[in-house]
Amino acid sequence: MPTPEARVRELRQRIRAADHAYYVLDQPLLADAEYDRLMRELAALEAGHPAFRSPDSPTQRVGGTPGDQFQKVAHREPMLSLGNVTSDEELDEFDTRVRKLLGASPETSIGYVVEPKLDGLAVELVYEQGLFTHGATRGDGTTGEDVTANLRTIGRLGANRGVLPRLKGKAPPRLEVRGEVLLQKAHFEAMNHRLVADGDEPFANPRNAAAGSLRQLDWRVTATRPLSFIAYEALGPDHPALAWKTHWEKLEALSDWGFEVSAENRRCAGMAAVKAERDRLASGRFDFPYDTDGIVVKVDDLDLRRRLGAASRTPRWAVAFKYPPQEEATRVTRIWASVGRTGRLTPVAEVEPVRLGGAMVARATLHNEDELRRKDIRIGDWVLIRRAGEVIPEVVKALPERRTGAETEFRFPAACPVCGAHVVREEGEKAWRCTGAACGAQLAGQLRHFTQRRAMDVDGLGDKLAAELVAQGLVKDFADLWGVPFATWQALFSRPRKEAVEAGAKRTPAELPEKAAQNMLEALARAKTPTLRRLLFALGIPQVGEATAGQLARAFPDLQALLDAGEEALQGVRDVGPEVARQVREWTREPRNRAVVARLLAAGVTPAAEQVDARGPFAGKTVVLTGSLSGLSRDDAKAEIERRGGKVSGSVSRKTDLVVAGEEAGAKLKKATELGVKVVDEAGFLALLKDGR
């Protein structure tokens, strides 16, 4: 049994490590309930032994220190953390403490505002003269990370109103808006499905996904994530526009300025009303579009708040009530390795089905070997399992006290469970990978990526058909697609009606299977002449997305020149850094990959060089597309603009040269009109394309 002093040191060390992992690395080490338990124990020890108190204790600080990769920003007023309570008794103690500090009688009813406790990343946005100038994460409460460029992208994908570039209506000279950056459940689910389909690790929960997305060094990565922003606080120097008397008036002002605030916020007269509201929110929490793990209770009267003040790390006028964690005990029946498109092996735990958050959970990802060993999860173990978002359940920890001795450790296979090829884990890597160039699990996913609309655009070749082509040995690499005869396609489409219609790209049953087979051959014939950009993206080269593929295609219009380029030449390409150049070079010098390219060329695939017209109406121009175009897809429109030397941007600014407004154009068209940016409709856009040929 450690002494109180030794236990204090141990708790501080564990909590600091957990804070760093959670706030800086976005990789939590502890479940919320366990973290709260440790913090409570530490606070109780410090209260019982005042000599052990220290200003650098986790009980006296907020979160973790800002990461080194971002510029530091000092908050004008500290962004404090909230104390946690978990019972009616503790809520009553908070209410009693508030009235005592205010010198109010026990009969005095305090007005509160109850808000859902959002599970995301706290940020501060600064507006000057109504314009968004900069923003930062909470960091350690006094100093945060400057993530302004990333914050500007939030809301562009339509997740919600996001971070407003300009406030609506009359604005004060300076306004500081605080709120939560988060991922709504549906967007988190879609993101994780894409990651899993690509063979990448899914995010453990929406909070981690939101934090990791916001803290990207490249704002363009953040722009691809459907993040939301919900405001809950406003601050500013004295100004008539900020003459609020209550917190509720602040929330109304935030909404009037255009921010999204939670529709579940309520005013409550007294603690009895707070508890009733707590119960209402708890009963409907799983129907909310975002995750919430409790409520926040705030004194409504701002003058009372000023009188109450704050302790070192928490305000005395607010508290967070945490719901009991949605955890259940169940038993691991099997652990197996799933193989993704990139060859990554991910350990998956199958468990005896258990209901959590309104859904039956039967499996959970264990992410990688390090996570599996750290938690010491064994086959046959009883474990605590928790809903960590709507897609990926999380095994919180094993329950070793319930072991019988029959449990067994999971060992990663030496050979790929799909193709039998050797499995390796490179130094410094978290994941094991299959080395088989012809691995069926990888090939089916690679084939689907290769044929998707934004790559080779082979209409009608979906997931099921790709898997069947690989399973029957008809396709061993991409070039084999062009060797599948008509009769084989016809046989493949002669399947039960539902599958056949899906694989036949919505053809009617009367057209199947002969018509579907003919359509497939025609789609493959069209796919023989892709642009070089599309082909490079289709090949699945690590780190080469559509944008990078376009830059490489423009820099190396000859495919062979790209295959032979060294790292130095690759780094000379716009937006290609040392790591991307290294991975591209490793891919191009791999003999099996060069053989795949050679077989594609031999099959008649002839990529067209990226022709850039430096003299046309789009040359050197920044163009924004908004609304829907009937004559061509958004991707095709973007490609046509880039081929003519233009650049497509996702937002309208004073630097925008042209906005193309299709049907149902929205806020971007309005902003273009306000800024005086030139706007053309679809007919005008097509005319410009014709003139630029």
Catalytically active residues, by annotation: 117
What is the identity of the amino acid at 257? Answer: W
For CA atoms 46, 47, 52, 56, give the dihedral sign: positive
Asked whether 62 and 82 are in contact (CB, 8 A), the reply is no
How many CA atoms within 13 Å lie on the side-chain side of 397?
A: 10
* Residue linked to tokens 């599970």: 119
Asked whether 95 and 252 are in contact (CB, 8 A), the reply is no
Give the angle 649-671-223 at the CA atoms, nearest 5°.
35
Other beta carbons less than 10 A from residue 339's beta carbon: 24
Report residue 210 as tokens.
């939101």
What angle, rounded to 10 degrees, do the helices at 88-102 and 271-284 form?
A: 140
For CA atoms 382, 384, 386, 391, give the dihedral sign: negative
Nearest residue to 230 (alpha-carbon basis) of 89, 383, 125, 112:
125
Buried b / exposed e across 411-429, counting CB within 10 Å, b at 16+?
Answer: ebeeebbbbebebeeeeee
Kindly write down the DSSP assignment for every residue of 449-475, as one continuous string: HHHSTTTT--TT--HHHHHHHHHTTS-
Round to whole Å and give the CA distance between 147 and 283.
35
Helix/strand/coil for 464: helix
Task: Give every strand in the sheet of 318-322, ordered side by side.
Answer: 84-85, 318-322, 292-299, 111-118, 266-269
Nearest residue to 526 (alpha-carbon basis) of 605, 596, 463, 597:
605
For CA atoms 649, 652, 657, 661, give the dihedral sign: positive
Helix/strand/coil for 359: strand
- In this structure, the dihedral spanned by the alpha carbons of residues 597, 600, 604 and 608, taken in order and rounded to 10 degrees, is -50
**Which helix H or strand E contains 167, and what residues bound it?**
none
Q: What are the C-alpha distances in Å from 624 to residues 157, 312, 631, 666?
A: 14, 48, 17, 12
- For the chain, report the end-to-end CA distance as a whole number of angstroms: 81
Kindly state the DSSP code that residue 670 receives in the 8-state scheme. H
Asked whether 248 and 305 are in contact (CB, 8 A), the reply is no
How many CA atoms within 13 Å lie on the side-chain side of 228?
A: 24
Round to whole Å and give the CA distance between 225 and 206.
12
For CA atoms 376, 380, 381, 387, give the dihedral sign: positive
Other beta carbons less than 10 A from residue 280's beta carbon: 14
Round to whole Å and give the CA distance between 476 and 470.
7
Round to whole Å and give the CA distance between 331 and 328.
10
What is the identity of the amino acid at 325? Answer: P
Helix/strand/coil for 82: coil
Asked whether 612 and 644 are in contact (CB, 8 A), the reply is yes
Asked whether 448 and 462 are in contact (CB, 8 A), the reply is yes
Kindly write down the DSSP assignment for every residue of 189-226, as one continuous string: HHHHHHHHHTTPPPPSSHHHHHHHHHT-SSHHHHHTS-
Other beta carbons less than 10 A from residue 472's beta carbon: 12
Helix/strand/coil for 170: coil
